[in-house]
Amino acid sequence: MNYNNFFKDALGGLKAEGRYRVFANLERIVGEFPRAWLHTGNGEEPRKITVWCSNDYLGMGQHPKVLDAMQAEITGQGGGAGGTRNISGSNHVHVALEEELASLHGKEAALLMTSGYVANWTTLSTLGSKLPDCVIISDAFNHNSMIEGMRHSKAERRIWKHNDLEHLEQILADLGPNRAKIVAFESVYSMDGDIAPIGKILDLCEKYNALSYLDEVHAVGMYGPHGGGVAERDGVMDRVDIVQGTLAKAFGVIGGYIAGKSEIVDFVRSFGNGFIFTSSHPPSIAAGALASIRHLKESNVEREAQKERAETLRQRMRDAGLPVMDAPSHIVPLMVGDAAMCKEASDRLLYDHDIYVQPINYPTVPRGTERLRFTPGPLHNDELIDHLINSLLTVWSQLGIQKAA
Ligand SMILES: *Cc1c(COP(=O)(O)O)cnc(C)c1O
């Protein structure tokens, strides 16, 4: 076996398909969000660009309250936490954060984990493998972290057509009320920007005695009067069995969690290997997340401004004849429909116009639906939007990309 040729060939395959990932080397600038330095290497000076695809949707990653809380904790407690939660790594601020998360979602308890990815993976793999003869019913568009967790659980898996209530009901009826069942889905699907009919899905979960598992990663901090997510906005939060979220997107820091009844949370705490066998976050991280959640619980200013910006951008794209996809959420996807073209459009925006938007290609989205995905935030002002629209029109005409029908 020639190991190196194997690796080289595999990478060559990705490159030939236009799927090889190149990361933008960014340096964020406190106080100037969404502007950042782009390091291009080659001995060139960094260039200042505008980031249009950040998941720090509200700019909380540089909010003074968040930074102050993090700095105070570094000064007081230092760098790392010193262990796993079980062996010396449970700090007062981790416990306070879990209490805050439980309260945010109106649940009895919450459990903090390394990331949203780890929270999905650990919870679904633990529940799926421990619940006797469990079936997990999974929305076809679920995130990779859920898919890998379900696979690892080795539980039977049924895929329901994306947001299709009839298909979900067929599967539930077919399995019957006595079998252990988990219905796993997201609220905001971040590539199309569509939103699940959560209340109706919960009706079915209740009718057929299934546990509901809701990934609100793209919605926490963003929807609901306190940032509890779409389930809070829709008034159905108390009916969700397990809510999963991240501290790394709208909350602007890092980390993931679940919230639910105390028995479920205690079960994952006690049996979830992805929780048990890894060190806990530095206290400063937990303190930053806590400050961010508390701020967004009370302030609607960022959420309202974000919604207005997203609507404005969408309208400006429509007016310009750009093929913006309709979506009821904060995400603004612009269809390109070809992998190489999508990458080329992104490159030109970056190098000719100082606009950074990552191309979204297969396998993140189906082939033929490659797109640019914009996440406007409260700080993308009119001037930045003008510049974006003009630049998009230039690139669209240079490359001959299809405009809206
Ligand atoms: C980003 C994402 C995750 C993972 O969350 P991290 O905190 O980034 O690990 C989980 N689910 C969905 C739908 C996501 O988009």
Residue ranges of domains in the chain: 64-298, 300-338+348-404
Strands 135-139 and 181-186: parallel
Q: Report the pLDDT value the prediction gives residue 209, as an integer from 0 to 100.
A: 97
Which positions are catalytic? 249
CB of residue 215 inside a 6 A radius of ligand 1: yes
pTM for the predicted model, two decimal places:
0.97
Q: Report the pLDDT value the prediction gives residue 355, as an integer from 0 to 100.
A: 98
Task: Give the side-chain half-sphere CA count within 13 A for 362.
Answer: 12
Q: Report the pLDDT value the prediction gives residue 363, as an integer from 0 to 100.
A: 84
Cβ atoms 201, 165 nearer than 8 A: yes
Q: Which fold has domain 300-338+348-404?
A: Aspartate Aminotransferase, domain 1 (3.90.1150)
DSSP 165-183: HHHHHHHHHHH-SSS-EEE
CA of 304 to the centre of ligand 1 (A): 23
Phi-psi region at 224: left, alpha or beta (left = phi > 0; alpha = psi -120 to 50): left
CB of residue 91 inside a 6 A radius of ligand 1: no
Q: Report the pLDDT value the prediction gives residue 364, as an integer from 0 to 100.
A: 87
DSSP 74-104: HHHH-S---SBTTTT---HHHHHHHHHHHHH
The residue count for the chain: 405
Q: Report the pLDDT value the prediction gives residue 19, as an integer from 0 to 100.
A: 80
Q: Which two tokens stand for residue 202?
A: 């919960």
Please state the atom number of ligand 1 nearest to the C-alpha of residue 247.
7
The low-confidence residues of the chain, meaning pLDDT below 70, are: 405
Burial class of 266 by CB neighbour count within 10 A (0 to 12, 13 to 18, 19+):
middle
Task: Enter the CATH code of domain 64-298.
Answer: 3.40.640.10
CB of residue 125 inside a 6 A radius of ligand 1: no
Q: Report the pLDDT value the prediction gives residue 183, as an integer from 0 to 100.
A: 98
- Distance spanning both ends of the chain, measured CA to CA: 52
148-181: pLDDT as tens digits: 999 999 999 999 999 999 999 999 999 998 999 9
Give the other-Cβ count within 10 Å of 85's Cβ. Answer: 21
